[in-house]
Structure 1
Amino acid sequence: MDKFLIGPTFHETHHISFVSRLVQPTPVLRDAAVACAAVLFGDQLAEYAKPSVEVGHKRAASVVSALRSFNISSEQDLVVALILGVSMVTFAMHVQKGNAYLISHYTLSLIKTQNADLSALDSSTIDLLMCLISTETFECLLRSYKPTIRIDLRGRENRVDRYVGLSAPIFAHFYDICEVSSSIRHSEVTRPEILRHLETVHDGVCHWQPLTPVDFLERFTKAEVVNMMAQAKVLRLAAMLIIHRIYHPYGQSDKEGLMLSKAIISEFERVLQLSQRSIPCTALAYLVACFEISGMEERSSAIERSEKVVTFSKQAQLNFKTKVNLVWNAKDHGCQFYWFQLDDYIGT
């Protein structure tokens, strides 16, 4: 479970949550749990990969069908929708041609129509919500799409999320970056307006720091504290690097971009050395950092290191390598492009 959760403190509650779905009287929740279990099993044991995926696809098809016709009329319905969405995102990120973005986007759109006060949800439910928001937002950053929900956690900024630790509040800044990048890509506003907005977003990211609960050091292990602080740091640095590439295309102002890249990669190396595990929900940060690398030896090391950094699934590792190689190839052929043009180079 380390590849999903920020630390062992959350293992028991996460395990109980998963097992409870297996014994749920609702068939669709059981199907969701079985679909996830099947692909997780196949991901760990290669000889069972094909039959596991076949079982998973059958159950997942049932869940997706149910999700498409799902109506939310109560808070419990909202929780069920989140569970189904998170389950299908997990499944999609383990299979070839799985589209975690579409699932997260659809589920969040379904939830958004209810106009619920999401910040009033209990912590466990917000964890599920953040799983979907992070999945959608990371893809929106790469594609210059506008995410579905701008999460507002005012008053709860210091809550600790099982997936994104102390970093949930930075997703509001990621939303703003996506909004700016999308506006530029689609020429929705004038350049002076964009620059003013981008400057405001940049200031917000530069000044953002994770807030910790009063019992933070007593409640979590040293390794968990290291991971959470590192997670916040690399996500913030990634946001700064993306903003840099909105201002400057690849091939220009590369010195500044490489400095941010090295800071991100150094943090990953430090955490791997200290805790011997990856940092959840940070593959995007590592990808953004690797885009900046030009030297062949450094690129080879980055690919090798990705096996330890991008650990969600074998498919996630493959997707990482595909995207980073496409960008490197474009740069090597002299292409100079801004961040908001990245979608033209990284494929589907």
Structure 2
Amino acid sequence: MQVWSIDSEKQIGTQQQQRSSSISIYSPSAHLPLTRRPKSISPSNQSVGEVRNPQNCDTVVLAPEKLLASPTTLKTAADAFRTVMDLEQFSVIHTPFMLGPSFVPEAQKTVYTILYFSAPTLTEGYLAFLGLMTRYQRSLVMRQDEPDMSKAAKGLQRLRSVKINQDYDAACALFLGQTMYVFNVLIAPDSSTAHAIMRSALISTKVWLPRLIHSPTLCPIIMTPILIDTVECLVRREIPIIRLPRTDHIIVDRYAGVCATLLPLLYDLCVCSHTAKRGILDIGSGPSSGIYRQLADIERSILEWNPPNPPELLEKHGQSEVLAMMTQASAYRLAALLIIHRLRYPLGVEEKTARDLANRIFSIMTHFAQTAAEKTTALPVVFPLTIAMFEVEGPGEELWTVFSPFAVQSISAARLHGFIKQVRASKESGYEGIWFDLIETQLHVAMPP
């Protein structure tokens, strides 16, 4: 099933001749000037306008077998536009970061818009990401190449030096940060530096978030970096860059699902955990201490939280995608409660509560695996599964197979398995601390959502 390339000179020559003589990836009317930029917008101005939908462009989609036979290279902005505007190519590259195919049209429009307005900043990093992702797909539409480290380095350089003067600059920085994060996680066995890439993008765009979150076109770029940053900070007891602001609309995200209203509570948990880590609040001084009062308040809010489930959710996204969203939301809610429990008690203490929470995480994921896993393109629950596996051995290993169709997530999960074994070994050897204290010396990979 996984054909990386077809190197027959005859096939390649025929394909090149066909492409040059009769096929254009998109018509001349679809070519857009890379230098066109909207008038500079400051954070205080009104919301951004819309640009044309790439789906309205006159495109010619090549069949997968023809794409497999072609010596596709990704070198220029035109190559990036070609990939984004081809719905089939875009889908196969980006659906590993979507809960289902219903999110593809919106994501395609968003990426096209950012590339259209910010191609000079985005192109190298995005091309490096595209080239890398061709090796991690169920069905490939482009020839496999070695990772383009030069383009990735240029992408990182662009991210570090980005100047943000308008909404699209901010969206570009957030999207570039995501692509460079994925590139780092997949290329580097020791990818603990990936989090710094994401935080850099969030720091440079923090002031723009309240505007972007109200833009239908650019909002899909926001949630993934905030989720990644929040998860890393929960594990490493740091403070996320951004506490997601409230909105007057329900956010249903391609990667974070319906967890938007849970993320601010997870931010508060990060702040509380970080404060205790620094010793400002003593976690060992008993239930009357400040840390216990803060944890109790956050715990109460998380227990009362329910994911939004408006009637139109099922109509727009379908049963399997809604089940994936609810599975993710429930898993994150239970994971937050398990973290609160383990901030109160070290490993080996109050085991029953910890095991109950872990088994509830396993239960909802097992139900998903039995009913909707084959119809879903991504399931960002590596983090909840990992911390549940600290507590209980067995069910988590069986659920590991759930990630096998989701290649990117399965790679990240596999790298975490060694750390899970180290936590269990410490617990069995009589370790009396909290598992967070093992992070600095034993966790050397990114903690994916």
Give 5+ residue unaligned stretches, structure 1. 46-50
Residues 291, 327 of structure 1: 8 Å contact kept: yes
Give 5+ residue unaligned stretches, structure 2. 1-93, 139-143, 284-288, 445-449
Structure with the greater relative contact order (CA < 8 A, sep ≥ 6): 1 or 2? Answer: 1
Q: Deviations over 1:207-239 (max 9, x none)?
A: 111113342222221111111111111110111
1:256 Cα deviation after fit: 0.8
Find the residue that maps to 2:181 and give its secondary structure: helix
Structure (1 or 2) with the larger CA radius of gyration: 2
- Asked if 1:343 corresponds to 2:439, the answer is yes
Letter paired with 1:331 = K
1:311-330 correspondence runs (5 A): 311-313=407-409, 315-330=411-426
Q: Deviations over 1:159-217 (max 9, x none)?
A: 21111111111111111111111111111235522111111111111111111334222
Q: Deviations over 1:49-98 (max 9, x none)?
A: xx84531x221110110111112121121111112112112212211233
User: 2:405 & 2:245 partners in 1: Cα distance?
Assistant: 29
User: 1:325 & 1:122 partners in 2: Cα distance?
Assistant: 44
Q: Give 1:235's match in structure 2, choosing from 332, 338, 348.
A: 332
Match of 1:101 in 2: 195
Residues 259, 329 of structure 2: 8 Å contact kept: yes
* Larger CA deviation: 333-342 vs 78-87: 333-342
Letter paired with 1:80 = C
User: 2:300 & 2:436 partners in 1: Cα distance?
Assistant: 19
Aligned length: 337
Q: What is the RMSD of the two structures over their aligned residues, measured on CA atoms?
A: 2.5
Residues 268, 309 of structure 1: 8 Å contact kept: no
CA 1:20–1:73 in structure 2 vs 1: closer, same or farther (change >3 Å)? closer
Match of 1:255 in 2: 352
Residues 137, 147 of structure 1: 8 Å contact kept: yes
- Asked if 1:285 corresponds to 2:377, the answer is no
User: 1:100 & 1:108 partners in 2: Cα distance?
Assistant: 13
Q: Deviations over 1:238-269 (max 9, x none)?
A: 11111111111110111111111111011111
CA 1:3–1:76 in structure 2 vs 1: closer, same or farther (change >3 Å)? closer
Match of 1:48 in 2: none
1:330 Cα deviation after fit: 1.6
User: 2:307 & 2:185 partners in 1: Cα distance?
Assistant: 28
Q: Deviations over 1:19-74 (max 9, x none)?
A: 677777724322122111122123349xxxxx84531x221110110111112121
TM-score where L is the length of structure 2? 0.69
Q: Give 1:186's match in structure 2, choosing from 256, 261, 278.
A: 278
Match of 2:136 in 1: 43
Match of 1:82 in 2: 174
Match of 2:124 in 1: 31
- Asked if 1:6 corresponds to 2:103, the answer is no
TM-score where L is the length of structure 1? 0.88
Letter paired with 1:73 = N
Match of 2:85 in 1: none
